[in-house]
Amino acid sequence: MGLISNCGRDERGAYRGGRPGDQDSGEWVIRPWNNRPWNSVIRYTGSNSDVRNLIARLAIEAAKNDQIGYDQADRLTFWQELQKVNYCPANITTPCEADCSSGVLSIVKAVGFILNIAQFQSVDINGYTGNMEGILVNAGFSALTNREYLISDNLLQPGDILLNYVHHTTIYVGTQQDVDNLLSNNMLPSTYISSIPDIDASEFTPFIATVDPVVTSINYSKIKEARISGMMFLAGELYDASYNRRSMYMQSNLDTQIGECLKADLPYALYANVRARSYTEADAECRALYYVLANHPPKLGIWLSIQNKCSKAENNTIIDLYYNYLVKWGFKDKCGLYINKDTLSRIDWAKYQDKFYLWLIDDNIDISKIDDELLEPELFEVQD
């Protein structure tokens, strides 16, 4: 039997007045599908196959995070906290509440921001079971009301939304194997990333311009006159320089910067500020970075700017985790380290030189002492 992500009652079995968060790990929970009965199965039937999987993934994360509980009176606080963590329920750390309908609608709306689907972004999270079918159909979903969809889970797909018009709604997440696959990223949205074409380094000259995050207006005609053939933008950071956790990972001007770059028909790279000091912090950074890469796949690769003061052993653990994620997302041979000499001394480069490209930042470099070969137009060539 399949499973559902079910937000249905507070810690007392009531609907209002409970404490924020999931007090007994049962307020929002993964449980077996049941014949409630249901009046409708609401399914996304558009061309983007990533949508249903991401709906299911976020629903699973919400059910597994005990910071998210049930309370009709505070049903919008889940959405408020979801916005602060770049729409990743697993990263919510402040106790908050949803009810069945606001939880489902918040997840759909979050998918809209993650995958840049305007119709989903406009979903009204104030909806309820009596009107949410209309809300979702207007956003591009289809309502399946034939009996065979309602009395069994045999025809259901992960990401389907089950609806009883009067009492309840929930999200179908598939079998236990589906859940395991979703959580291991095997079924996360990947087409945006894995479809990046292989890089032919001979297409590029060696000049790449790194853009300050505050800059939004660039004269691309002069950029091209200077033989600059690509741009580097900051993807974002989860922790600021004082190690305060940011409410949004993606840097605020990235959409504008990339949009203008693409209008100028130039490829771009992204770099991510890595300030993680532990495996847990690095995992949170990776999860937040994923959504940026899904929306903005960089043809010139993703680069890690290590900005912590960790030991070599600690950095090895952090870099290993990043590399494993990047390979899963389709970035094998398309990732690099964007670091200075001091940081390089705190990394076991011998271990990573076959996995990462190296972009060594050195403002004091003497170009006259560089071998001519290094000036050839091979952007990703790493010299020992």
pLDDT tens per residue, range 149-204: 999 999 999 999 999 999 999 999 999 988 887 776 533 333 223 233 444 434 44
Burial (CB < 10 A; 0-12, 13-18, 19+), residue 295, is middle
Res. 49: pLDDT tops 90: no
DSSP character at residue 49: T
Residue pair 16/72 in contact by the 8 Å Cβ criterion? yes
Question: Looking at 57-71, 134-148, 340-354, which range is the least confident one?
Answer: 340-354
Res. 205: pLDDT tops 80: no
Q: Each residue of 368-379: pLDDT tens digit?
A: 443 433 333 333
3-state class (DSSP) for residue 43: strand
Higher pLDDT among residues 85 and 173, named by residue: 173
Mean pLDDT of the region 47-66: 89
Helix (H) / strand (E) containing 70: strand 68-70
* All residues at 6 or more sequence positions from 24 whose CB lies less than 8 Å from its CB, including other chains: 11
Mean pLDDT of the region 239-252: 88
Angle, CA of 128, 133 and 135, to the nearest 5°:
80
Residue the block writes with tokens 């899963």: 328
Res. 64: pLDDT tops 90: yes
pLDDT of residue 362: 58
Best-predicted range by mean pLDDT (9-13, 39-43, 224-228, 332-336) = 39-43
Res. 33: pLDDT tops 80: yes
Q: Each residue of 263-312: pLDDT tens digit?
A: 999 999 999 999 999 999 999 999 999 999 998 999 999 999 999 999 99
Q: Is 35 left (phi over 0), alpha (psi -120 to 50) or beta?
A: beta
pLDDT of residue 143: 96
User: What span, in angstroms and rounded, lies between the C-alpha atoms of 343 and 352?
Assistant: 14
Mean pLDDT of the region 107-131: 92
Helix (H) / strand (E) containing 32: strand 28-32
User: What span, in angstroms and rounded, lies between the C-alpha atoms of 237 and 281?
Assistant: 12
For the chain, the average pLDDT equals 85
Percent of the chain having pLDDT more than 70? 87
pTM of the shown model: 0.56
Give the E-state strand segments of 77-177 in sequence order: 96-98, 141-144, 161-164, 168-174
User: What span, in angstroms and rounded, lies between the C-alpha atoms of 298 and 230?
Assistant: 11
* All residues at 6 or more sequence positions from 159 whose CB lies less than 8 Å from its CB, including other chains: 43, 44, 51, 52, 53, 54, 55, 56, 171, 172, 173
Phi, psi values for residue 76, rounded to 5°: -95, -5
